[in-house]
């Protein structure tokens, strides 16, 4: 499923970026070789990040 239309990122790509070590939303975009543009997808991206790293939120 496409999550970020600006960058044509799918949920699978984002989950792979989390698995590769992305711990913050901006790291997720960077891990996919892009950056947030319109920002419409950031809530969904954050949800995926929290789902994949349930203990990773709030850390440094």
Cβ 55 to ligand FES, closest distance in Å? 26
| 18 interacts with ligand FES by CB under 6 A | no
Give the nearer residue to ligand FES in terms of CB position, either 22 or 41: 41
> Are 41 and 5 a contacting pair, CB within 8 Å?
yes
| 32 interacts with ligand FES by CB under 6 A | no
Place of tokens 């994949």: 52
Dist. CA 32–CA 21, nearest whole Å: 12
Of 10-18, 20-28, 38-46, 52-60, which part binds ligand FES (CB under 6 A)?
Answer: 38-46
**Contacting residues toward ligand FES, per CB under 6 A:** 4-7, 36-41
């Amino acid at each position: 499923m496409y999550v970020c239309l600006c960058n044509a990122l799918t949920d699978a790509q984002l989950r792979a970026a989390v698995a590769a070590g992305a711990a913050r939303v901006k790291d997720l975009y960077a891990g996919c070789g892009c950056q947030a543009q319109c920002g419409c997808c950031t809530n969904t991206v954050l949800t995926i990040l929290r789902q994949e790293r349930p203990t990773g939120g709030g850390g440094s």
